[in-house]
């Protein structure tokens, strides 16, 4: 009996710790790896970032979402994309001469260079994109419970311009760059821009 109590005295804390860690990972935050160059210069390929599942999504937040049934090319059930929210539900979004406009106002994009902003962006609005790319939803505004997302490196990003909106229920969480992982500028451009 004494041996059983001794064993349980160290087994129970380990089991409790593992259970708490699993609950935190499932409901609060987890770590993901950035795959590809679409969020450069703010997030690099293979960079590991935290995903806060309880954080509020705002315009310019960087989010992680399950792209399965969002992007037709994402055929695996658990493909995760990292993109920046440009349009919130109800917003109009357009691009003219390398500038983004949300609800008719120019969106400040100091978090990327002129090259990343203008190369591959083009001139469009939600209606023209939905017609050109054959989206199932033809609209001039971001629908309720959906987001319009873009990569920071527009010329290489596969994003909402091509396949449409990200449903709220596909969002895993908001990206936060750990304080030890990168420069203060990159941390600001990912962690602090949500409006």
The set of catalytic residues is 38, 83
Find how far residue 82's CA is from the centre of its chain.
4
For residues 191 and 63, is the Cβ–Cβ distance under 8 A? no
What is the distance between the alpha carbons of residues 129 and 187, in angstroms, rounded to a whole number?
Answer: 31
Phi-psi region of 121 (alpha: psi -120 to 50; beta: other; left: phi over 0): alpha
Q: Collect all residues with Cβ–Cβ distance below 8 Å to 56 and sequence separation of at least 6.
A: 174, 194
Tell me the DSSP string of 9-54.
Answer: HHHHHHHHHHHHHHHHHHHTEEEEE--SSTTTTTS-TT-EEEEETT
Q: Report the alpha-carbon distance of residue 161 to residue 82 in Å, rounded.
A: 15
């Amino acid at each position: 009996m004494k041996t059983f109590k001794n064993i349980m005295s160290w087994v129970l804390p380990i089991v409790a710790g593992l259970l708490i860690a699993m609950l935190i990972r499932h409901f609060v935050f987890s770590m993901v790896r950035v795959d590809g160059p679409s969020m450069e210069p703010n997030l690099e390929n293979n960079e590991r970032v935290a995903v806060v599942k309880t954080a509020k999504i705002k315009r310019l937040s960087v989010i992680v979402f399950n792209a399965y049934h969002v992007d037709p090319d994402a055929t695996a059930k658990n493909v995760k994309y990292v993109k920046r929210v440009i349009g919130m539900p109800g917003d109009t979004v357009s691009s003219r001469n390398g500038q983004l406009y949300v609800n008719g106002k120019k969106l400040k994009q100091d978090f990327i260079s002129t090259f990343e902003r203008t190369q591959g962006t083009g001139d469009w609005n939600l209606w023209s994109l939905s017609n050109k790319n054959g989206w199932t939803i033809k609209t001039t505004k971001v629908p309720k419970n959906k987001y319009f997302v873009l990569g920071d490196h527009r010329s290489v990003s596969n994003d909402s311009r091509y396949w449409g909106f990200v449903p709220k229920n596909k969002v895993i969480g908001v990206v936060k760059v750990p304080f030890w992982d990168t420069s203060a500028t990159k941390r600001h451009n990912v962690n602090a821009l949500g409006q």
